[in-house]
Copies of this chain bind each other. A is one copy, B any other.
Amino acid sequence: MTPRAGILITGTEVLTGIISDRNGPWLSERLRELGVDAAMIAIVGDRREDLLAALEYMRRDGMALIVTSGGLGPTADDLTAEIVGRFSGREMVLDDRLEERIAEILRPLMRRWPGLDPDAIRASNRKQAVIPQGATVLDPVGTAPGLVVPPADPPGPTVVVLPGPPRELQPMWETARATEAFQAAIAGAPTYRRGIVRLFGIPESEIANTLRAAQDDGLDLGPLEITTCLRRAEIEVATMYEPGAQHAYDALIEFIANRHADTLFSRDGSTIDEQVVSLLDGRTIAVAESCTGGLMSARLTERAGSSEYFLGGVVAYSNEAKAQLVGVDPELTARAGAVSTEVAEALADGAAARFGADIGIGITGIAGPGGGTEEKPVGFVCFSVCVRRGDGPAARITRSARLPGNRADVRDRSTTVAMHLLRRVLRGETDTIVLPGQVTQSAKT
């Protein structure tokens, strides 16, 4: 049977959104990897009654393991160890060895700040050495020790108590996992595998239909825990399964691949950004963008080492900038309109030419909220990607699409569309691609 676990994030600053929690999702993923069903993340402030109520809830809900983060510091609002001791039915005792260990950690700190009162510091840190009797101590990475606290009166959840800062929590999690008390709590957990595939160019409801069709077709989806999610205009299908269900998972992915050959772009979980970088294969790239306002260049330079392939970009917001910096013919702009596939092509060609790059990307569109017309409404964006060989374009994809959402969505999704067009060109697929809300298309090679 799969043991269940709860994650309890403590801290008023997290509850009120001043600090955003990174530990909950991280611990949830680690627990799943161990075959533990992380069923809930709870975030509560630094209040005794709220901490205890959340722990009691998780016990009643049948959790075999509870992992807490935060509340282990030396100040009065750091309550976790004490509350967990009470919850587990264990008396609080001073651990002499731990007190000495904390003093050792603080010694260099106290030398650096000679003005501090050593007695006051020692007293406030003695608090951190008072732990539930019988708990396993996890050596501090910062100054706060962690704990693994089994129930005094089994059965009941074992509580893993970790500090809040992720750079302390993450290594101490590894230590906690290795303890006997931890292993005993999750005894019987199955091992899980996790597979991710990604699609671009279909609505989320189509994947729901495909899953239903797979079931109608006799595929056994029972042993697969499938989550679909729409992110930055792509669909991500993440599946957790036990090793024995590998065949069921493979059959599902084959089924998806057959129905969505055109839109399934990642079977191994790799992202579009990763794929583009590996497809570039030494070729250089340049951008001329309008409505995305710099976000396309920013996306291509997100990764360390991007200067090896990214030469530069122009944010050509005004028509004059399009002409003077990228060489877009003002007559073309006047004739076809600044937002047109023709100008997108001229931007792509101009970017490649001006920066001397192998590949040029051109983007022009209407991010809104103003500026839309009947023919070219808000969200209408034109894209062109060209790959040069010698003096002229050797391969090109040009498309326009109508993207949903507000100004920020249109700008962000436009960069995703451009990444996918780029991938297609780099793979030599210049004729088949369907965009969400595609309006017109042209493809030449």
User: Contacting chain B: which of A155-163, A172-180, A402-410?
Assistant: A402-410
How far in angstroms is the closest Cβ of chain B from A358? Answer: 13
Is residue A231 contacting chain B, with contact meaning CB distance below 8 A? Answer: yes
Is the Cβ of A43 less than 8 Å from the Cβ of B44? no
Q: State whether the Cβ of A278 lies closer than 8 Å to any Cβ in chain B.
A: no
A275-311 residues with Cβ-Cβ distance < 8 A to B are 287, 292-302, 304-307, 310-311
A99 nearest CB across to chain B (Å): 17
Q: A317 an interface residue at 8 Å Cβ cutoff?
A: yes
CB distance from A438 to the nearest CB of B (A): 9
Q: Does A19 contact B (CB under 8 A)?
A: yes
Closest to A7 in B: B43
Residues A23-40 near B (CB distance < 8 A): 24-26, 28-29, 32, 38-40
Q: How far is the CA of A13 from the CA of B238 in the complex (A)?
A: 9
A293 to B300, CA, bound (A): 8
Which residues from B are CB-within-8-Å of A312? 314-318, 321, 325
Whether the pair B307, A318 counts as a contact (CB closer than 8 A) is yes
B42 pairs with A305, CB closer than 8 A: no
Among A203-211, A242-250, A251-259, which stretch is in contact with chain B?
A: A203-211
> Judging by beta carbons under 8 Å apart, are B39 and A41 in contact?
no
Q: Does A120 contact B (CB under 8 A)?
A: yes
- A227 lies within 8 A of B356 (CB): no
The verdict on A214 contacting chain B, using a C-beta distance below 8 Å, is: no
Any B CB within 8 A of the CB of A53 = yes
Whether the pair A20, B16 counts as a contact (CB closer than 8 A) is no
A406–B167 CB distance below 8 A: yes
User: CB within 8 Å of B: which of A375-406?
Assistant: 402, 405-406
Contact residues in B for A310 (Cβ distance below 8 Å): 293, 317
Beyond A24-B43, A40-B43, A229-B19, whether A311 also contacts B304 by CB under 8 A is no
Instruction: Give bound CA distance, A74 to B77, whole Å.
Output: 44
Question: Does any Cβ of B come within 8 Å of A54's Cβ?
Answer: yes
Minimum CB–CB distance for A50 against chain B, Å: 6
- Nearest residue, chain B, Cβ from A369: B304
Complex Cα distance, B364 from A428, in Å, reads: 35
Q: Within the complex, which residue of B16, B76, B205, B370 is in contact with A75, where a contact is CB–CB below 8 Å?
A: B205
Determine if A18 is an interface residue (Cβ-Cβ < 8 Å).
yes
Contact with B along A102-113 (1 / 0, CB 8 A): 000000010011
Q: Which residue of B lies closest to A409 (CB)?
A: B167
Are the CB atoms of A25 and B17 closer together than 8 Å? yes
Which B residues are in CB contact (< 8 Å) with A45?
A: 39
Query: What's the Cα separation between A20 and B15 when bound, in Å?
Result: 15
Inter-subunit contact A325/B304 (CB<8 Å): no
Q: Among B43, B313, B407, point to the contact of A304 (Cβ < 8 A).
A: B407
Q: Tell me whether B15 and A28 are in contact (CB under 8 A).
A: yes
| Residue A332 is within 8 A (CB to CB) of chain B in the complex | no
Task: Chain B residues near A54: list those with CB within 8 A.
Answer: 40
- Check A324 for interface membership: any CB of B closer than 8 A: yes
Task: Knowing A405-B167, A409-B167, say if A298 contacts B301 (CB, 8 Å).
Answer: no
Residue contact B238 to A121, C-beta cutoff 8 Å: no
Contact residues in B for A29 (Cβ distance below 8 Å): 16-17
State in angstroms the CA–CA spacing of A165 and B26 once bound together.
Answer: 21
Report whether A325 and B297 are in contact in the complex, using a CB–CB cutoff of 8 Å.
no
A445 contacts the other chain (CB 8 A): no
A236 interfacial by beta-carbon distance below 8 Å: yes
Q: Pick the contact of A17 from B19, B28, B57, B112 — CB < 8 Å?
A: B28
In whole angstroms, what is the CA distance A386 to B228 when docked?
49
**Among the interface residues A13, A17, A47, A53, which one has the most CB atoms of the partner chain B within 10 A?**
A17
Verify if A191 is at the interface (C-beta below 8 Å from B).
Answer: no
Task: Identify 26 residue pairs between A and B in the complex whose beta-carbon atoms are under 8 Å apart, listed by A's number.
Answer: A13-B227, A16-B28, A17-B25, A18-B231, A18-B238, A39-B47, A40-B42, A42-B42, A42-B43, A43-B43, A73-B204, A112-B402, A113-B203, A121-B205, A293-B298, A293-B300, A293-B306, A294-B297, A294-B315, A301-B317, A304-B368, A311-B321, A312-B315, A312-B321, A313-B314, A324-B355
Give 6 nearest A-B pairs by CB, closest first: A17-B25, A293-B301, A294-B297, A294-B294, A312-B321, A294-B298
